[in-house]
């Protein structure tokens, strides 16, 4: 990241974020930021609070703390209002409409039919031939990897400035993991900022410009992929099983 980007106002800023599930204190003062066009990887073992961080930012879990997006406070706003500000979210659940066609699923992602965004349906299908081959088939027949691609493409149809992608390679075959990683890298090239919640280091370190590591609901490391590679202690304590 160059000096100019460091001086910019962050696109997304999270400060001292706390969140609870009932009486369970899940997030304990999470602080992170993302600059315009930056790709950030949020790493950590299952259960440390990475997905809860994504949900708190998107308003799906009640947040306590400061969250600003493009200079506007968004902590506590409804999810649909946050999305309309330009923050996209690809949940781990890969929610698609199985009885609707691939093309119809993509149309549902468009926020404003009168104002085209950066992407057209034709561009999405051209970028991802797997989806083009099944464009008029019910989305329910897609493989797990193709459903993940469709979910990401549908989010892009909403013309977001930043996308939070939660565990996109979970449960996928190695070959499909590579394809998903390539897809995320392609999205990054278009200038969309990305917060990638991921366990697979090979994907995260390949495309991220900075890395955050979470442990026990807190950020325990922040640095570049190169800096992370020198920290065997961080990897052993917070990532290895």
pLDDT along the chain (241 residues), means of 10: 58 96 93 95 94 95 96 94 93 86 91 72 84 92 88 90 91 83 86 92 90 96 96 93 70
> What are the residue ranges spanned by the domains of the chain?
3-238
- For residue 116, what pLDDT is reported? 64
CATH class of the domain defined by 3-238? alpha beta
> What's the confidence (pLDDT) of residue 3?
44
What does each C-alpha distance from 14 to 133, 145, 148, 167, 219 come to in angstroms? Answer: 40, 31, 27, 20, 12
Residue written as token pair 């190169």: 226
pLDDT at residue 119 in the model: 79
**7, 19, 28: which is closest to 215 by C-alpha?**
28
């Amino acid at each position: 990241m160059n000096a100019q980007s460091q001086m910019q106002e962050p696109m997304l800023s999270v400060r001292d974020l706390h969140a609870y599930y009932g009486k369970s204190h899940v997030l304990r003062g999470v602080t992170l930021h993302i600059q315009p066009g930056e790709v950030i990887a949020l790493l950590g073992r299952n259960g440390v609070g990475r997905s809860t961080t994504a949900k708190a930012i998107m308003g799906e879990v009640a947040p306590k703390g400061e969250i600003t997006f493009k200079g506007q406070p968004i902590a506590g706003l409804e999810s649909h209002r946050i999305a309309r500000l330009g923050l996209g979210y690809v949940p781990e659940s890969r929610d698609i409409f199985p009885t609707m066609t691939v093309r119809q699923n993509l149309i549902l992602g468009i926020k404003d039919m009168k104002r085209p965004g950066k992407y057209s349906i034709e561009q999405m299908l051209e970028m991802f031939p797997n989806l083009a081959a099944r464009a008029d088939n019910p989305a329910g027949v897609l493989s797990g990897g193709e459903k993940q691609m469709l979910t990401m493409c549908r989010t892009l149809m909403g013309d977001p400035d930043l996308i939070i992608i939660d565990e996109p390679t979970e449960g996928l075959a190695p070959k499909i993991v590579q394809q998903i990683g390539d897809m995320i890298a392609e999205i990054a090239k278009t200038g969309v900022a990305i917060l990638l919640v991921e366990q697979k280091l090979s994907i995260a370190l390949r495309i991220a410009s900075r890395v955050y590591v979470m442990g026990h609901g807190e950020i325990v490391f922040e640095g570049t992929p190169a800096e992370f590679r020198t920290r065997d202690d961080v990897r052993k304590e917070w990532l290895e099983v």
